[in-house]
Amino acid sequence: MNERLTHFTEVSHCSPQQLQELLDLAHKISQDIRAFENTRTGRMLVNLFYEASTRTRVSFEAAAKRLGMHVINISATGSSVEKGETLTDTFYTIQAMGPDCIVVRHPEEGNAAKLAELAEPGVHVINAGDGTAAHPSQALLDALTLKQSFQDFGEIRLVMAGDIRHSRVARSAIRLLQMLGVGEIRLAGPPEFMPGDGTTRGTRVFNDLDSAVEGANAIMMLRIQRERISGLDIPDADEYHREWGLNAERLGLASQGCHVLHPGPMNRGVEIASGVADGSQSLIRRQVRNGLYSRMALLLTLTRAQA
């Protein structure tokens, strides 16, 4: 690796070479996970989650445990956050107990990066999602899933559809896939769910899903991020599904064998039909599995200096 990774808060803080090396390592782990087990015995990982999570929190825990690390899980609910403790004080408190890695999910943008600046040498901060800004380890597992399905990133014509505006998954995936040389990214969603910032740079924007899907060879559907929406009407679920949901008929407009992805959690019958989510073209469960491999690769890489 050209420079050692200390923290992982945003994909654009990594070089393309570092990202390729993380993906190569995750791929190697996927082929022989046992060879990597217990290679970080005695190290400690703390999951510090201020928002709900199933996949991210559990896969960081599973990844760390496969590597032989101790894991401590802290949720804002039930912790001294409820007594008014600030994020910074909570971080310093956890850091004083000597963890190697602190995985942070927080509703406000930029907080993982702020904590990384406060970290002592040997403590690695990982962003598990900050507001609408970034979810870099999700991008890593999405890229691994695509890497396993295509010979080259340049071949990929990926549609990302739904609530792009409030999606940290979309922002991180777009940035990472562009750094890896993806062929084309098409964004599709209702106008109120399209971002007004630089997220769309280098992408093609569509205002109907059928046109976006035509000829695509990968489609990633995104849920409506209800918890981040204020000042906008939440669309009616049935109407949204008719216009913006991925069903079998729409999928038929894509290239034959087009892969279907979703970061989860899914809202079946809203952005994706059950038949598509569970169908033969779906890579959704593989994404979850790849979350384990990608996060093992990340933990191995961050803690390499101390190995």
Number of residues in contact with ligand CP, rule: CB under 6 A? 9
Cα–Cα dist 13/250, whole Å:
37
Quick one: DSSP state of residue 251? H
Shortest gap between Cβ of 297 and ligand CP (angstroms)? 17
* H-assigned helices in 120-279: 136-149, 168-179, 209-213, 237-244, 248-251, 274-277
Closest residue by beta carbon to ligand CP: 56
Shortest gap between Cβ of 137 and ligand CP (angstroms)? 9
Is residue 138 at the binding interface for ligand CP, with CB under 6 A as the rule?
Answer: yes
Shortest gap between Cβ of 1 and ligand CP (angstroms)? 26
Shortest gap between Cβ of 195 and ligand CP (angstroms)? 19
Is residue 56 at the binding interface for ligand CP, with CB under 6 A as the rule?
Answer: yes
Closest to ligand CP by CB, 18 vs 167, is: 167
Residue 40: CB atoms within 10 Å: 25
Closest C-alpha among 73, 261, 233 to residue 158? 261
Contact pattern from residue 91 through residue 130 relative to ligand CP, giving x for each residue in contact according to CB under 6 A and a dash for the rest: --------------------------------------x-
Is residue 131 at the binding interface for ligand CP, with CB under 6 A as the rule?
Answer: no
Closest C-alpha among 26, 102, 28 to residue 60? 102
Is residue 264 at the binding interface for ligand CP, with CB under 6 A as the rule?
Answer: yes
Closest C-alpha among 28, 32, 2 to residue 15? 2
Place of tokens 């996949």: 55
Which chain residues interact with ligand CP by CB under 6 A?
A: 53-56, 129, 138, 263-265
